[in-house]
Structure formats: C-alpha cells, structure tokens
Amino acid sequence: MATKASAGVTDHSEGTEGVRRRDFLNVAAVSFAGMGVVAVALPLISQMNPPADVLALASTEVDISKIASGQAIKTIWRKQPVFIRNLTPAEIQAANAVPMSDLRDPQSLAERTKPGKANWLITMGVCTHLGCIPLGTGEGENRGPFGGYFCPCHGSAYDTAARIRQGPAPRNLDVPEYEFVSDTTVRIG
C-alpha cells in the first residue's frame, strides 16, 4: 500500500490488518532466532557424550580357559573391574541352599549365570554400597563370613553367588551383559 509521504498526517488505513502482518513478521523472525539457539545448543550438549573411540571399547572379550575351578580373576571392562569366578560344586550347592527370604536382594544363582554354565559367575567388582573393590578374588584374600566376597570399606559381605548378605550394600554385585562366544571366550558388554 502506498504511504502518503508528502502529507504530514499518519495514514491509519493499514489499520489492524497491517498490525497483524507486522506482528507475524516480528514473531517469525524471533522464533527463527529461538530455533537457531536450540539447534546450536543440541550439539554443544551432545558433544559431552562418550566419543566413538570410547564406544568402540564398550565390549571386551576375555579368555577364561586358564581359570581353574575355585579360582577367580579380575579383568577390566569399560574401565571398571569385573570378577570372573569358576565356582566349585560345593560353592554352587551352598548358593542354591539359601532361602530367598534370607536375601536383601532376592536372586537365585540360576538367574545370575547362563544356563549350563552355572559354575561361571561373572559380576562387576564394584561394591554396590559406595563403589570400593571387594576382596576375595586373589589367593589368600578375605572372602568374608559367607565365603564369597568381602568389602573392607564398610564391611559388606557377599555370598558364593556374590549376593549381599550382611553390611550396608543394598544390592548384589551387578551382573553385566555377557555371552559365551565359545567355551573358552566370554564377550562382556
């Protein structure tokens, strides 16, 4: 619409229609700016996530052929300790004999191992209380009153199935995702 530039009077004929068009333009411009800010913020936040090389180390394969019955090893997965123990038949029996009602975090040994591989107990080596590494994997280490693992920091005691029996820890030692690639190799994660 032509504006009457030579008159000294402001032209109101654009009126409400013009106001609505004006508002829309301003709103459109500001909302594009807002979208832009969000679009920029997203990669700035996502870049803090683990990078590709850390994600590539998200699973590890471990050779378990050298672990004799009754022995355990410590290994590393995602920069944290993992306990791999070859349970003796006595230890398996002791674990199965415990009634569920005695357990703070009820789980059977079968739930914590793979079918047909009940002797292989693979758990995180991180106490579920405040994160110390429990004793019991090495020769001569204190295995606590329940014959499993014992955390020296605050006295949490785990049984032969690495379930919490005594002390402040709330949960059994976590069982990570794993699978048997072969009889001698386990892939964790």
Partner 1 sequence: MSFSWAKPYEPKHPFMKWLDERLPLPRLAWGSVGGGYPVPRNLNYFWNFGFLAGLFLTIQIVTGIVLAMWYFASADGAFNSVEHIMRDVNAGWAMRYAHMNGASFFFIAVYIHIFRGLYYGSYKAPRELVWMLGLVIYLLMMATAFMGYVLPWGQMSYWGAQVITGFFSAFPLVGEPIRVWLLGGYAPDQAALTRFFSLHYLLPFVIAAVVILHIWALHIPGSGNPTGVDVKDEKDTLPFHPFYTAKDGWATAAFVLVYALFVYFAPNYMGHPDNYIPANPLATPAHIVPEWYFWPFYAILRAFTVDFILPAKLWGVLAMFGSILLLFFLPWLDKSPVRSGSYRPVFKRFFWLLVVDILILGYCGGAPATPLYVGLSQLAAAYYFAHFLIILPLISKFETPLPLPNSISESVLHGEKKEAAPVGAPAHSTTVAG
Partner 2 sequence: MLFLLRASKYVVGAAFAGVLLLSFYIGVSTVISSPPAATAEEEFHLHPKHLSLSSDGPFGKFDKQQLQRGYQVYKEVCAACHSMSLVAYHDLEGLGYNEAEIKAEAAQHDVPAINPETGEPSTRKALPSDHFPSPYANETAARGANNNALPPDLSLMTKARHGGAAYVYSILTGYKNQQGYKNEKGEVLLEKFPTAKTPGGLHFNPYFANLNLAMPPPLTQDGQVTYAPGNPKPTVDQMAKDVSAFLVWTAEPKLERRHATGIAVAIFLLFATVFAYLAYQNIWREQKAKVRVTGALEPENQAKSRRAKGKAGIAG
Active site positions, annotated: 154
Residue 19 interacts with, from partner 1, partner 2, none (CB under 5-8 Å by kind):
none
> Which residue from 33, 37, 39, 97 is in contact with partner 1, where contact means CB under 8 A?
33
When asked if residue 47 is in the footprint of partner 2 (CB under 8 A), the reply is no
x/- mask, partner 1, residues 42-81, rule CB under 8 A, reads: -xx-xxxx-xxxx---------------------------
> Which residue from 9, 33, 42, 68 is in contact with partner 2, where contact means CB under 8 A?
33
Give per-residue burial for 109-132: e unless 16+ CB within 10 Å, then b.
beebbeeeebbbbbbbbbbbbeee
When asked if residue 10 is in the footprint of partner 2 (CB under 8 A), the reply is yes
Choose among 105, 93, 80, 87: nearest CA to 143: 87
Please give the helix or strand (H or E) that residue 109 lies within, else none.
helix 109-112
Cβ 55 to partner 1 shortest distance, Å? 9
